[in-house]
Structure 1
Amino acid sequence: MTRLRANLLLMLAAIIWGSSFVVQQVGTGNLGTISFTGARFLVGACMVFPFALKQFRRVHLRERRFQQKDWLALALTGTVLLTAAVLQQHGILRTTVTNSGFLTALYVPMVPFLGFLFLRRKVHFVVWPASICCFIGTYIMSGAHEVELVDGDFWVISSTIFWATHVMLVGALASRTRAPLVVAATQFAVCGTLGLVLGAVIESPVMADYVGAVWGICYIGIFSVGMAFTLQVVGQRYTPAADAAIILSSETVFAAIGGMVFLGEHLSLLQFMGGALIFVSIIAVEVVPQFATGKARALD
């Protein structure tokens, strides 16, 4: 797969995630945050499992054998995913769709920073200004300069550390295992199982709570988890984590559009300009490295 195609898959994942912010805010019913998160990720795991099993057999027998440390790393990734998703979901229920979309994008500048700090992973120079521009664009879009932060915003902010960590783990494991569908299905299963167990202990849901949230669970489980997160894992096998984070940040734009269309939230001209700044940053990350490579080849 070419890097361009991988980046298009990441963009599609961002579109699905952006539209899902609305459902996450209105489709949970009386079901608790942890239980809702567990249920939707188990739905996603069931959706991807048949394809993951087929890929596992092929890779395990013909390319590289899965080792115990691979499964432990996948279990860790699923745990990080659960933590990020629960914190974000808890915050989404207590703030606006636009603000939650904006604050989630804080993980974008965190990814290259954490990658360099802990993994000594260098990135193309364009990633740094593009990350900053993405953050500025989401800040403008959110209208955060016009409103005060509320309780839910701080929960969303806390989730960004785990989202940044998750992006790095997914990129590393997708490349290491050569089996992105196995990575996706395993992390979903871990996240979903832990979520349901913890939810049962902490939130004590009854069957009526699950029934009341069934449409939200199915929509998010099939589209946001089963499709979008799987697209992320597949795309990140061919795209560096820092670049992927910038592309995925466009979910902010689509979250704002979803809030405007379905919840009556409004965007000003300035906020639309913030969205344009995000897309310029994404294009820069895609085009500048290729232009630099082409120029270097021409000089040779």
Structure 2
Amino acid sequence: MYPNKNSQQTFAEIMLVSVTLFWGATFPIVKEAIELLPVMAFLWIRFALAALLLGFMAGRRGFATLDYRGWCNGILLGTLLFLSYLFQTFGLEQTSSANAGFLTGLNVVWVPLLAGPLLKKPAAFGAKVGVIIAFSGLILLTWHTPWTLNPGDLLVLACSFFVALHILGLDRFTAGYDARALTFVQIFTMAVLGCIGSLIFEPVSWPREWPLSLVSAFLITAILATAYAFWAMTRFQRLTTPTRAALIYTLEPVWAAIFSVWLLDERLSSLAWAGGGLIVSGMIFAEAWPLLRRRSSGVEPDLKMN
């Protein structure tokens, strides 16, 4: 399909860019949906629909690639992913969708910081500077007088941590398995966890009414932002490096802000836009620094270098 490794990597990265587009678009969609349905009820129905689609796509041949370890890896990745969505969706109840988009994007700062203790690759100078830049942006984005972090902002910050763990897990645990089958295990795990949580903690675990806006939210988030997005991540992220993938994911908060202003008519102050810009700048600096160092030293980046 691909004439060489460079074109293979380029195609993979284009697919990951499309993932960020669909993710960014869902922030305002989900924010409206959870006004009609409790958070975990929305999550488990969304993930159940996506799991059905992925299971059909994988078929018997896809599931044949999963051994015991593959199922365990999928369950672990699905649990990390569920925690990220849980914190993000609860956070959306208490903050703007634009804020949530920018704060979720901080996962690309967590990635190089966590790669040290988890993958034995200590954080580079660029990652440390990126954290400082992004944290400065966080202060501006969430600025109040006196300054405080909105509880929703804190929840989305926790979400970004689990997103980073999932990105690192994809790099380590997906090789050798059919992407559709492994993604099914992840999404099915999320559906089960969400259903259990909804039954225990929420009075409503199934919609009493199905207005068009809720149906549209389920279809868009289940098909495009879940089934397609996580199949693409599982299939194509391993064809690039975690660093380059994390850099691509910085586009998500940009799309989130654009769609939030367009669909929800949200208004960000100049200070908030500046904060969001600093967060994105910190993300880009953290991820681009190793590539700039290698190029300045005349070393051609290897496809599998981190």
The answer to whether the Cα contact below 8 Å between 1:93 and 1:152 also exists between their aligned partners in 2 is: yes
Task: Write the mapping of 1:121-200 to structure 2, written as runs, cut at 5 A.
Answer: 121=121, 128=127, 131-132=130-131, 135=134, 139=138, 143-145=141-143, 148-174=148-174, 176-200=175-199
Task: Report the 3-state secondary structure (helix = DSSP H, G, I; strand = E; otherwise coil) of the residue aligned with 1:237.
Answer: helix
- Gap change, CA 1:130 and 1:156, over 3 Å in 2: same
The answer to whether the Cα contact below 8 Å between 1:105 and 1:249 also exists between their aligned partners in 2 is: yes
Give unpaired runs (5+ residues) of structure 2. 3-7, 301-306
The answer to whether the Cα contact below 8 Å between 1:138 and 1:252 also exists between their aligned partners in 2 is: no
Task: Write the mapping of 1:88-127 to structure 2, written as runs, cut at 5 A.
Answer: 88-121=88-121
Superposed CA RMSD: 3.1
The answer to whether the Cα contact below 8 Å between 1:19 and 1:255 also exists between their aligned partners in 2 is: yes
Higher normalized helix content (fraction of residues): 1
- Gap change, CA 1:196 and 1:226, over 3 Å in 2: same
Is 2:255 the partner of 1:254? Answer: yes
- Gap change, CA 1:289 and 1:68, over 3 Å in 2: farther
Is 2:21 the partner of 1:20? Answer: no
Task: Report the 3-state secondary structure (helix = DSSP H, G, I; strand = E; otherwise coil) of the residue aligned with 1:211.
Answer: coil
- Gap change, CA 1:284 and 1:28, over 3 Å in 2: same
Task: Write the mapping of 1:196-235 to structure 2, written as runs, cut at 5 A.
Answer: 196-205=195-204, 207-209=206-208, 211-212=210-211, 213-235=214-236
Distance of 2:52 and 2:227 partners within structure 1: 8
Distance of 2:24 and 2:11 partners within structure 1: 20
CA deviation after TM superposition for structure 1 residue 188, in Å: 0.6
CA deviation after TM superposition for structure 1 residue 254, in Å: 0.6
Corresponding position of 2:303: none
How does the TM-score come out when normalised to structure 1?
0.81
Distance of 1:171 and 1:11 partners within structure 2: 17
CA deviation after TM superposition for structure 1 residue 201, in Å: 2.0
Q: How many residue pairs get matched?
A: 287
Corresponding position of 1:236: 237
The answer to whether the Cα contact below 8 Å between 1:20 and 1:220 also exists between their aligned partners in 2 is: yes
Task: Report the 3-state secondary structure (helix = DSSP H, G, I; strand = E; otherwise coil) of the residue aligned with 1:22.
Answer: helix
Indicate the larger mover: 83-92 or 113-122: 113-122
CA deviation after TM superposition for structure 1 residue 177, in Å: 2.7
- Gap change, CA 1:80 and 1:283, over 3 Å in 2: closer
Identity between Structure 1 and Structure 2 (%): 22
CA deviation after TM superposition for structure 1 residue 292, in Å: 6.6
CA deviation after TM superposition for structure 1 residue 220, in Å: 1.0
- Gap change, CA 1:279 and 1:168, over 3 Å in 2: closer
The answer to whether the Cα contact below 8 Å between 1:137 and 1:274 also exists between their aligned partners in 2 is: yes
CA deviation after TM superposition for structure 1 residue 192, in Å: 0.9
How does the TM-score come out when normalised to structure 2?
0.80
- Tell me the alpha carbon deviations over residues 6-52 of structure 1, each in whole angstroms, 9 at most, x when there is no partner: 22211111111111100010123432111111111111112222222
- Gap change, CA 1:265 and 1:148, over 3 Å in 2: farther
- Tell me the alpha carbon deviations over residues 198-252 of structure 1, each in whole angstroms, 9 at most, x when there is no partner: 2122213154446353332222111111122222222211122233222112111
Match of 2:53 among 43, 47, 57: 47
Distance of 2:227 and 2:107 partners within structure 1: 22
